[in-house]
Amino acid sequence: MHENNNKNNSQHTLKIFGLLVVTFLASCQYNRTTDFNTQPPVTKTGEHQQFAQMVERSNIPQLTQKMTQGQLTAVQLTQFFIDQIKMKNDQLKAVITVNPNALDVAAKLDKEREAGNVRGPLHGIPILVKDNIETREMATTAGSLALKNNHTKRDALVIANLRKAGAIILGKTNLSEWANFRSERSSSGWSAVGGQTRNPHDMARSACGSSSGSGAAVAANLAVAAIGTETDGSVVCPSSANGIVGIKPTLGLVSRAGIVPISHTQDTAGPMAKNVIDAAILLTAMRGKDSADPATQLAALNFSKNYLPESNQNFLQGKRVGILYSNLLNHEAIAKVFDKAKTQFKKLGAVFVDELKVEPYETFGKDSYDVLLYEFKHDLNQYFAGLPGELNQLTLEKLIKFNRQNADKEMLFFQQEIFEKAQEKGNLSEATYQTALTNIRKATREDGLDKLFKTHQLDLIITITGGPAWSIDRINGDHYSGGYSSYSAISGYPHLTVPMGKVHHMPIGLSFIGLSQSEDQLIAMAKTFERVIDYDPSRPPKNTE
């Protein structure tokens, strides 16, 4: 997902590796049976509404304080979110599965707290996880019927780390099927397993993707926070579109082992939350080395940085902030919201460097797409080979055949031309792949973000994450409006988005872009901005109540 002076090339690449653009199609033609869907809906009471208001206005430290003071238990919080899912998910289609063990885990964590054994700030906090991340007690489907029985009975390291920190894995969220790498005409948020995720701010609009369910669920108060994944834009776009905070971390900071892959040079998991501090707490727990993921073994990675600035210090005072030009500024309402954000930066003492631009080389879009096609074939086949039972015989070629045989369920609205193009690619030793990878990395690192930061002596780059969510269009697919996720995605550098306001009734986000391993600085500056911006992401949209 990136902007390009060549309009046709831009449209082509935006469709493909935005990895957000997927299916809003119709309501679910196939619905996986889940425990929470078989139970009667919860009747809303005044007590439930009062509890909901308390939860939606509280960040993780505040919820933890209530638990410490005996005003709240993990069981109460978990049951509340299960009730929320029962009430809201039939419309939202944000959640695929609720963890059948969630309440038992919550009870165990309550007992640990009573005994004085508190694991940390996530102790007893229920979160949702995108359904392309392995969890031992639930299937990991990537939204595909081909993986509906993918019970690996193991946790991805990121999940193991979260459990160790005391988080409750509440369930699995819907997503753009195969993380939106199946078709160039898909619409964000649709999967054959989970149906069509909708934006809680307006049910007729997209939740973006591919972490659609994670974004919609947090915005609708179905969990304290959620985990998404991104190859190019799939955390930051749904965060922006749903009015929440999202962090796409430096490549290698969070292990990808146990996550259904697209690209080993770009994939990462990232936190999605109502506010910056919650996202920072999650990221702190998620990170860590993993022998199964070489990217986490890089000696230069620092896994001990403090992401939790405790003071209300102004971290923007005197900072040089580059403004990356976006065509979205030609939209009067978007420009007005962005200008208000800039005004706040100036009041906080930031020094602007205006009108920065990146100029990708002529074949940047094609090279970027080729790299993803090559890596998807290689990485997915490698993932399949490590699955238990008969699923380890699955290959991309067999997956293509499966979809053709189940076209009445899998290909109701769009095809699988990306799969077919990837299958035609050779191995990763081919010169086409190696040259393309070298070129796009150089373009986004040395000739891209590194150059901008060095030339202008920048501390931060900001830009518009994306336009407001578009209307669901099951015929033509997504109407994505542009953004700069690709430079951070391909370089492997961090990208954080924070809500900055609304265009009419739909939220839009402000991107905080930095160099490798600058999460601590981005989080501190984003937290400063969040305090002064006239937008409260902790309040869920009224039309989901």
Residue 495 near residue 469, CB atoms below 8 Å: no
Residue 196 near residue 24, CB atoms below 8 Å: yes
pLDDT above 70 (res 522): yes
Residue 398 banded pLDDT, cuts 50, 70, 90 = very high
pLDDT at 43: 52
Average the pLDDT over each of 44-53, 126-135, 414-423, 510-519 and give the range with the smallest value: 44-53
pLDDT at 403: 99
Residue 103: how many other CB atoms lie within 10 Å: 18
Most distant CA pair in the chain: distance in Å?
65
> Which amino acid, residue 165?
A
| Domain limits, the chain | 7-24+45-297+312-544
- What predicted TM-score, i.e. pTM, was given to this entire model? 0.92
Going 355 to 231 to 28 to 474, the CA torsion angle's sign is positive
What's the average model confidence in pLDDT over 194-206?
Answer: 97
pLDDT above 50 (res 256): yes
DSSP 315: T
Q: What share of the chain is helix, strand, coil (3-state, %, to 5)?
A: 40, 15, 45
Average the pLDDT over each of 15-19, 242-246, 474-478, 534-538 and give the range with the smallest value: 15-19
Q: Which residues contact 378 (CB under 8 A, 6 or more apart)?
A: 427, 428
What's the average model confidence in pLDDT over 169-181?
Answer: 99
Residue 421 near residue 373, CB atoms below 8 Å: yes
SS3 of 160-188: HHHHHCCCEEEEEECCCHHHHCCCCCCCC
Percent of the chain with pLDDT over 90: 84
What does the pLDDT look like over 39-72, one tens digit per residue? 444 456 788 899 999 999 999 999 999 999 999 9
**Residue position matching structure tokens 């727990």:** 285
What number does CATH give the domain 7-24+45-297+312-544? 3.90.1300.10
pLDDT at 541: 59
pLDDT above 60 (res 2): no
CA distance 146 to 416: 14
What's the average model confidence in pLDDT over 495-501?
Answer: 98
pLDDT above 60 (res 19): no
CA distance 503 to 203: 16
CA distance 527 to 276: 6
What does the pLDDT look like over 336-381, one tens digit per residue? 999 999 999 999 999 999 989 999 999 999 999 999 999 999 999 9
pLDDT at 388: 94
- Distance of CA 142 to CAs 11, 146, 248, 259, 394, Å? 26, 9, 19, 9, 14
Which DSSP string corresponds to 364-430? HHHHHHHHHHHHHHHHHHHHHHTSSGGGGG--HHHHHHHHHHTHHHHSSS---HHHHHHHT---TTS
Residue 311 banded pLDDT, cuts 50, 70, 90 = confident
What does the pLDDT look like over 439-456, one tens digit per residue? 999 999 999 999 999 999
CA distance 464 to 263: 25
pLDDT at 536: 67
Q: How high is the mean pLDDT of the chain?
A: 91
pLDDT at 545: 47
Residue 18 banded pLDDT, cuts 50, 70, 90 = very low
pLDDT above 80 (res 277): yes
Length of the chain: 545
**Residue position matching structure tokens 């809906």:** 41
Residue 21 banded pLDDT, cuts 50, 70, 90 = very low
Give which of 220, 225, 278, 219 is closest to 243, Cα–Cα. Answer: 219
Residue 390 near residue 272, CB atoms below 8 Å: no
pLDDT at 171: 99
What's the average model confidence in pLDDT over 144-153?
Answer: 98
Quick one: how far is CA 191 from the chain centroid?
Answer: 16
Average the pLDDT over each of 16-25, 30-39, 89-98, 211-220 and give the range with the smallest value: 16-25
Residue 537 banded pLDDT, cuts 50, 70, 90 = low
User: Known catalytic residues?
Assistant: 130, 210, 234
What's the average model confidence in pLDDT over 195-220?
Answer: 98
pLDDT at 539: 56
Residue 465 near residue 507, CB atoms below 8 Å: no
Tokens encoding 65: 């304080």
DSSP 138: B
Q: Which residues contact 252 (CB under 8 A, 6 or more apart)?
A: 268, 293, 295, 296, 297, 298, 301, 492
Beta bridge partners of 352: 321
Tokens encoding 328: 């979205």
pLDDT at 540: 54
pLDDT above 50 (res 29): no
Phi/psi at 353 (5° precision): -115, 110
